[in-house]
Chains A and B, each alone.
Chain A
């Protein structure tokens, strides 16, 4: 693309879209290969190249192969969807390529073995939307993921991309934009849930010409990766959202802060920036208006606390990411001391659709106070892991069972953890909870950035609490004492509990410390740090008591408190555990029940995890 194709006005954009669409027949066969990080890890790029090679060899030049963003169902990757029929193939390997080309592309037949089989009904699903994982979803933020090539801005424009921006620049005043977003009821998707429209309004009302917009792509919550998916799979939707936001606020410069762990997101965003600049969708006088705006990428360097907005600002300025006292809020004095508006990736990606389809349409989805959809990353001990976008108010049961397919190996559901290290665990009794900002907080969880981590009967809640506190001890910036010292003390108490050295009164001590840390920490990292302990204590106090009083770990996780044994009736003698045991503590003949030598066993738990028949039991 060259500078010559710069779009002079909204009309140019519309005709470019027409031109792109005219070049594409709706009946044209297209193979979309998922090139999200999840599928890439399973070899989708090799698959993509193989498709290209095979098609060229067979001289099928009118078939298009597209490397798209994440389709969401990473568990079953690499994923391939054949358009226009939308035939859904899963777990595709390089050796399957000739078969797909021969059968599906040439003869319009289906390769049966690559279809998804619903484990519940044992029925094979032909099309993407027949797969239960997708059937209950409503994809708004993910509208383009899996359909367009994120490195081709043409694809985005063809899918009505930048139409919202054109509408804003030609027909709407800044106030009208803010009003639309406010009426839509959009709330910050980063976790806080602050009304986006109001946030913009506050920043707009600040005096001064120099204002900044920041996109928070520092998705630090372990277990959440939807922002990554959006940045990798549909970077232009984020840029468009930010441009609209900047127009409303009166900013002319913006930064996207991307986590260090997301190199592909940086690559795809960089490509999108370059392409939209050369089309004049970024830069001076966008689409011929007098609005000028540009975006720059800032790479993070690995610090969880940089997801906190004041720490993030410090990091963008090139300092260590330590949070500042608020007020002043970033809207008043943020980046370089100027009014700054920060929203996260998912929030920005929602903006163009709201402008495009109207606030009424958006507000029609969701619950009373939480509108629209939310993307969750459904992971942990659940059958179908991946990214799930559902309307607010969907119940946890629907997400975990209908979309997620329930718990693998017919084990029992125990809890679902939401909101990352700041959130909490929600037990089975609250599974019918409709998920929105308020309901999750009431239940002791938190929306957070949308990680839903499912836990089964083999998850120890004390260990989970310990895990999160270890994470927070590691990530505390160390500036204020309550967080630095308090969380560390709580962690050491949990350590002694899982070591079997818990004392009477430890639970009360944890509660007391939790209250102090919560009250007196400087930023929200410390303010929410005790949540994993408090919520597990609230719903799973009996597990703590079992560790302290009976010196037992009911889930069989805390190695100091368990001993592994083989159930001779269940053991088929397959030898899997014998192969993986690092100390050769598993003994026995093939096809005969094995035994564990307690003397040699270091309780690493490999056999417990390995066993396909659940014959290794923890005592």
Chain B
């Protein structure tokens, strides 16, 4: 039968102000297996520690729970006190009723209940604890850091500077992680490259760091101080003395596929020559005009119905606008689509006036009827559903457009009719004149 002691600390007003420590102590005293429960102003003080050691000796306690601050503060204090009177230190545990309770709650009644719960849980845990003995094992003085983002890089540098050997593992071909994608950092808007790049260089220059880029951790064995880690270095070159030229790697190469066969839209039906001719015609309008990117992309989209990848590549080469810039613009504005769109582009207005008059229900009805979400196209390439934030015809709310033809004062019933009509009609009859720019 366990003989437990429970000691509740007030921590001055830190705990006692929010938690009724006396109530917790009397609650704990009544728990099965608890021999003694006391509360005291400062349990970590000398008189407080003496309260514990005296009780251990007097009541021959088999385990102790101290309900006070975080174990990170005073666990060593109380465990040393327990050991000094012969109790195995691992038979003493702490219930954190300060950081986890009194400091984060304001309601005294509820906080007291939570403190009771925490104490009860710890009492049950200590009842099941086994006395532990400390042993010494040799530790390999090497460190592995997994992931070479800015945090991994800094950790590796710090450990290396302290004189230890570091193995830095990164899955990507280059280190830097997300920070390499950022422009500025929060909240000071500092230049993120200015923080990152010097550290990337330092990694390469540090004698204590071995970098395993383009590598992945496959297996971790062992225990603290003696880990065994299996790291797979991915291939990035070919051993020509062994290569038979079978072509299998060419077929399965992910990197090659990423460049030449993107997972995105299929190539348009036109031949490359036709695409080139069309793009050349469009470009003529824009010779030497600053700020032409948006207008140009709008024209390309009008011509091809969306922005096909090979067209953008051709456009970039021809216009000398970097491909990255074309993509940045195409992705930023809602008006551009990188996916092929349907014959009928249905835009459901979700402006405030339309929202109030049930625009959302119209949109839901289309989603239900066509089985596509916003921004998607039906499998038969007939309909694309787009959500717009205001079509500027608020007086006729709720409004939708089908290929730029407006339909006002919509209801779910009228919406269904429009969809049916579209399925019957030819698309040319639905569109209205496209605006021309001078």
Contacts and interface: CB of A to CB of B under 8 A. Distances in A.
A270 B437 CA distance: 6
Given A267-B433, A302-B335, A304-B389, A379 B361 contact: no
Interface string A477-494: 101111000000000000
B297 A301 contact: yes
Contacts of B389: 220, 222, 304, 471, 474-475
A513 to B, nearest CB: 15
Nearest to B293: A318
Interface in B285-299: 290-295, 297-298
Interface string A184-220: 0000000000000000000000000000000000011
Nearest to A303: B333
B436 A270 contact: yes
Contact of B434 (A223, A263, A386): A263
Interface in A380-418: 380-381, 385-387, 417
Given A75-B395, A263-B434, A263-B435, A318 B290 contact: yes
Interface string A294-311: 000111111110000000
Q: Which of A298, A380, A387 has the most CB of B within 10 A?
A: A380
B396 A220 contact: no
A222 B395 contact: no
B357 A381 contact: yes
B364 interface: yes
Contacts of B297: 301
A274 interface: yes
B282 interface: no
A76 B295 CA distance: 36
Contact of A74 (B329, B335, B391, B393): B393
A37 B329 contact: no
A274 B411 contact: no
Interface in B343-362: 350-358, 361
A315 B297 CA distance: 13
Closest 7 CB pairs of A and B: A222-B351, A41-B406, A74-B395, A301-B333, A302-B334, A302-B335, A318-B293
B162 interface: no
24 contacts: A74-B393, A75-B395, A220-B390, A222-B354, A225-B394, A260-B298, A263-B404, A263-B435, A270-B435, A301-B298, A301-B329, A318-B294, A318-B329, A321-B332, A322-B332, A377-B394, A379-B352, A379-B353, A379-B394, A386-B395, A453-B353, A481-B186, A604-B361, A609-B358
A610 to B, nearest CB: 7
Contacts of A506: none
A29 B144 CA distance: 90
A250 interface: no
A530 interface: no
A322 to B, nearest CB: 8
A228 B393 CA distance: 9
B399 interface: yes
A455 interface: yes
A564 interface: no
Interface in A16-38: 37-38
A142 B311 CA distance: 44
A274 to B, nearest CB: 6
Interface string B353-375: 11111100100110010000000
A74 B329 CA distance: 35
B293 A42 contact: no
Contacts of B155: none
A270 B388 CA distance: 25
Given A37-B406, A260-B335, A380-B356, A604 B364 contact: yes
B329 A274 contact: no
A316 B291 contact: yes
Contact of A262 (B183, B365, B392, B436): B392
A379 B397 contact: yes
A579 interface: yes
Contacts of A224: 390, 392, 394
B413 interface: yes
Contacts of B356: 380-381, 453, 455, 459, 464
B358 A219 contact: no
B178 to A, nearest CB: 14
B353 A223 contact: yes
Nearest to A226: B392
Contacts of B194: none
B407 interface: yes
Given A263-B404, A302-B335, A223 B352 contact: yes
Contact of A299 (B189, B408, B433, B437): B437
Interface residues of B, number: 57
Contacts of A262: 392
A262 B391 CA distance: 8
B325 to A, nearest CB: 8
B435 A267 contact: yes
A512 interface: no
A238 to B, nearest CB: 15
A520 B188 CA distance: 11
B365 to A, nearest CB: 7
Given A297-B438, A336-B290, A41 B334 contact: no
Interface in A353-393: 377, 379-381, 385-387
A528 to B, nearest CB: 15
Given A222-B389, A318-B294, A480-B186, A267 B436 contact: yes
Interface of A: 37-38, 40-42, 74-75, 77, 219-225, 228, 259-264, 266-267, 270, 273-274, 297-304, 315-322, 325, 336, 377, 379-381, 385-387, 417, 420, 451, 453, 455, 459, 464, 467-468, 471, 474-475, 477, 479-482, 520, 579-580, 582, 604-606, 609-610
A531 to B, nearest CB: 13
Contacts of B365: 582, 604, 606
A471 B404 CA distance: 22
Given A219-B392, A380-B352, A451-B352, 19 more contacts: A37-B392, A41-B396, A74-B396, A75-B395, A220-B390, A222-B353, A222-B389, A224-B392, A225-B393, A225-B395, A263-B404, A264-B435, A316-B291, A322-B332, A325-B189, A385-B397, A604-B361, A604-B364, A609-B411
Contacts of B350: 222, 471
Given A262-B392, A379-B397, A297 B351 contact: no
Contacts of A320: 328-329, 332-333
Contacts of B336: 301-302
A259 B352 CA distance: 17
B379 interface: no
A299 B298 contact: yes
B432 to A, nearest CB: 8
Contacts of B411: 580, 609-610
Contacts of A386: 395
Contacts of A520: 187
Contacts of B364: 604
B231 interface: no
A297 B332 CA distance: 20
Contacts of B294: 298-301, 315, 318
A487 B364 CA distance: 24
A386 B397 CA distance: 11
A573 to B, nearest CB: 18
Contacts of A475: 389
Contacts of A471: 350, 389
A317 B290 contact: yes
Contact of A605 (B361, B393, B413, B438): B361
Contacts of A464: 356
B392 A385 contact: no
B412 interface: yes
B298 to A, nearest CB: 6
B353 A380 contact: yes
A299 B436 CA distance: 10
B335 A377 contact: no
B99 to A, nearest CB: 19
Nearest to A581: B412
